Amino acid sequence: MEKYLVIGDPVGHSRSPGMQNAAFEACGMGRPYGMRHVTSQELPEFFEYARKNLAGVNITVPHKLQAALLADELTDRAEKCGSVNTLIIRDGKIAGDSTDGVGLEKALEYCFNETLSGKTVLFCGAGGAARATAVHLAGCGVKAVNFINRTVKKAEELSSLCRKFYPALESVCVPAADTAGCRALVQRADFLIQATSLGLKDDDPLPLDESCFVPEMKLRIFDTVYWQTALQKLAARLQISCVGGKEMLIRQGAASFELWTGIKADIEAMRRGFDEGGI
Ligand code: ATR
């Protein structure tokens, strides 16, 4: 019987079963990880099922905030961002943790071969993806975490949350419609984290005006969307360093696996499992 699940609404696209089962198989533990479609209304009932029947769960959209309210206890980092992507279930008790932030941190270091210390990070977006990761990056010794968002109020809330925990952090917010303001923030960023949902659909526009970018600029773009988006294509054309979100998904999954098993995850096996997809 499956002891681990990823749940979401929708969930059919998830690569978690492929990569988590690859990690379990790599240490001789079979393929105990499945997926289940769970709606927001069904979430409380699912928690009671999980409490009695499961050892671990990954939570994906749109349940990360609701899961933080339903867990019996939260780790410090989940408490700070109010988002949960991992449940650890022991003796009928459900602990909620958030590995998205550490997943992004490790992905940035791996993909760009740079540390975050002293750097200026710019988030484009202030929804669920940014919320789950910005506070963690703010605690990685960076100089600044700035935000651009269509709804600037949401950016300001996230910025305040980051500064609440890290008062020395620099953090400014600009509305996405302020092209000159956006251009100035892009130009002084070391890393741009694309954390809006733009790019999930094929005909989605760029999240920022094209004039924000100049050819061969020394910016590293991390797009949390894991397939080719308009932004990734633009970056390739302008020869700006840019990667999609795959490595972040793998690293957050590896961190979940390690919480459940206490065993170091085989990242290479997880990358292969991710690419193969499916259950
Ligand atoms: P997720 O959990 O995927 O992050 P979300 O919480 O709805 O989803 O957040 C989506 C993000 O993409 C937000 O930053 C949103 O901007 P708003 O806060 O202004 O809603 C951004 N976004 C979504 N559609 C957008 C669009 N058409 N133009 C600009 N930003 C958009």
pLDDT, tens digit, 9 for 90 and up, residues 223-232: 999 889 999 9
Q: Specify whether the CB–CB gap between 31 and 264 falls below 8 A.
A: no
Distance from residue 230's CA to the centre of ligand 1 (Å): 16
Mean pLDDT of the chain: 96
Q: For residue 202, what pLDDT band results from cuts at 50, 70 and 90?
A: confident
The CA-based angle 81-84-89, given to 5 degrees, is 135
- What pLDDT is stored for residue 2 in this prediction? 77
> pLDDT digits over 25-37, tens only?
999 999 999 999 9
pLDDT band at 278 (very low <50, low <70, confident <90, very high): low
Q: Whose CA is nearest to atom 21 of ligand 1?
A: 196
pTM above 0.85, yes or no: yes
CA distance 217 to 239: 8
Pairing of strands 191-194, 173-175: unpaired
With 80 as the cut, is the pLDDT of residue 190 above it? Answer: yes
Categorise residue 199: left if φ over 0, alpha if ψ from -120 to 50, beta otherwise. left
Say yes or no: CB of residue 156 within 6 Å of ligand 1.
no
Probe ligand 1: pick from 40, 98, 150, max atoms within 8 Å of CB?
150
Q: Is 143 in the pocket of ligand 1 (CB under 6 A)?
A: no
Alpha carbon of 196 to ligand 1 centroid (Å): 5
Burial profile 171-201: b = 16 or more Cβ within 10 angstroms, e = fewer: bbbbbbeeeebbbebbeebbbbbbbbebbee
Q: How far, in Å, are 31, 193, 194, 266 from residue 207 at the CA level?
A: 38, 11, 8, 34
Say if residue 277's pLDDT is above 80: no
Answer for the pair 124, 154: CB distance below 8 angstroms, yes or no. Answer: no
Task: Band the pLDDT of 1: cuts 50, 70, 90.
Answer: low
Distance (Å, rounded) from C-alpha 78 to C-alpha 234? 34
- Closest to 235 in 3D by CA, of 184, 199, 201: 199
Phi, psi for residue 134 in degrees, rounded to 5:
-65, -45
Rounded distance from Cα 195 to ligand 1 centre (Å)? 8
When pLDDT is averaged across residues 174-197 and rounded to a whole number, the result is 98
Find, among 257, 273, 195, the residue nearest to 58 by Cα: 257
The residue whose CA is least distant from atom 30 of ligand 1 is 150
The Cα 169–Cα 138 span in angstroms is: 7
**65: Cβ below 6 Å to ligand 1?**
no
> What value does the mean pLDDT take over residues 186-192?
98
Res. 200 pLDDT band, cuts 50 70 90: confident
Of ligand 1's atoms, which has the minimum distance to the CA of residue 130? 4
d(CA 32, CA 25): 9
What's the pLDDT band for 234 if we cut at 50, 70, 90?
very high
